[in-house]
Amino acid sequence: MPSCVTGLDNLLSKPSRYIKGKRIGLVVNHTSLARDGRHSIYHFLRHPDFELAKLFGPEHGLYGVDQDMIHVQNTKDPLSGLEIISLYGDHENTLLPANQLLEDLDCLIFDIQDVGARYYTFIYTMANCMKICGETGVEMVVCDRPNPINGIQVEGNLVSDPWRSFVGQYPLPNRHGMTAGELALMFQDQFGLDCKLTLIPVENWDRNMWFEDTGLIWVAPSPNMPRVETACVYPGMCIVEGTHLSEGRGTTLPFEQVGAPYIDPFKLKDALDIIELPGVIVRPHFFKPTFQKWAQKVCGGIQLHVTDRSTFQPVWTGLAVIHTIARMYPEHFEWRTEPYEFVSDRLAIDLLYGNTWFRENWINRDLFRNELDEEWQEELDLFKQKRQDYLIY
Residues ≥6 apart with Cβ < 8 Å to 194:
134, 188
8-state DSSP, 130: H
| Architecture (CATH level 2) of domain 228-360 | Alpha-Beta Complex (3.90)
Domain boundaries, the chain: 7-224, 228-360
CATH number for the domain running over 7-224: 3.40.50.12170
Backbone Cα Rg of the chain: 21
Which H or E run contains 27? strand 23-28
- Tell me the pLDDT tens digit for each residue of 320-369: 999 999 999 999 999 999 999 999 999 999 999 999 999 998 888 888 78
- Amino acid at position 338, single letter: E
- Tell me the pLDDT tens digit for each residue of 216-256: 999 999 999 999 999 999 999 999 999 999 999 999 999 99
The pLDDT value given to residue 150: 98
N-terminal to C-terminal alpha carbon distance within the chain: 15
Backbone angles phi, psi at 232, to 5 degrees: -60, -40
Q: Are 130 and 88 in contact (CB under 8 A)?
A: no
Q: What residue ranges of the chain have pLDDT lower than 50?
A: none
Report d(CA 387, CA 393) in Å as an integer: 12
Q: CATH topology of 7-224 equal to that of 228-360?
A: no
Please give the model's pTM, rounded to 2 decimal places: 0.96
Backbone angles phi, psi at 180, to 5 degrees: -60, -40
